[in-house]
Amino acid sequence: MGAPFDVYSICDIDNPGIDHNRYKVYIFLDQFKITKKTRSALKNKIARDNKTILWLYAPGYVDDNRLSSESISNITGMNIKLKTNNSSGAESLVEPDYSRYKSLQGICPDERLKFNNKVKTLFYVDDDTAEVWGRYSADGKTAIASKKIIINENCGDQGRTEYNSFYSAVGNLPAWMLRNIAATAGVHIFNYGNDPVYINKSLIGVYSTSGGSINLILRDDARLADVFGEGTYKPENNVLKLGLRKGESRLFMIKES
């Protein structure tokens, strides 16, 4: 995704060992059922402090003993409705609004946003207060959207907080789109291409999936020492430009400039 990330179970959200101050973006993949306890933890720990939450497909759709698009609306903060059952699967094709994305690097020319298999149950966003990031190709209904949610709006600065809710009715978003959503949330992107990067406080590494030019974008002014070589590099304007062969990896120690 071009930035460091951690993987947790949704059951870990209320774990006191997790420092939520470290995170700006949360991506929830297959949360069809969300318990009342977890909803409370989401509200208290995550849905606040200008954080960004990305919900995929049908979060909270299983509500007690029934299926409810209203429950998805309650989770996402947007009005979500059920589309007419789709027997062919073709209606799941989504056209992104490319004007909203900071960088289109890494997009495959033939890439289409859709489910890999036929999905009969589809949803759409019916909310005039949400910003559209993508629409269904078949009918133009909103499939990807975002909305700023303000909590306790009339309680003054101390009680007021807000967060950004993203919803995608298509489950498997490509890496370039995740990078853009993360960048919108203020996450530093170290590489806008599709080559995976590894980053911690001391190291930054990259693996070339197809070969060619790769730009590593540092957050701060620094020198990079090749861990397995003898070279030390000084990125120009915090950008290190590399030319790598397919399958080649590079790992650098981050040193003060």
> In the predicted model, what is the mean pLDDT of residues 81-106?
72
The predicted structure's pLDDT at residue 121: 87
In the CATH hierarchy, which fold is given to the domain comprising 10-184? Rossmann fold (3.40.50)
> 197-256: which CATH topology?
Immunoglobulin-like (2.60.40)
**pLDDT-based confidence at residue 105 (cuts at 50, 70, 90):** low
**Whether the domain at 10-184 and the domain at 197-256 fall into the same CATH topology:** no
Domain ranges for the chain: 10-184, 197-256
Report which of residues 38 and 108 the model is more confident about.
Answer: 38
184 CB-near residues (< 8 Å, 6+ apart)? 52, 102, 164
Note whether 145 and 131 are within 8 A (CB): yes
pLDDT tens profile 201-250: 899 999 999 899 999 999 889 999 999 887 898 989 999 999 999 999 99
Residue with the larger pLDDT of the pair 87 and 9 = 9
Q: Which residue has the tokens 């853009």?
A: 180
CA angle 252, 235, 250 (to 5 degrees): 25
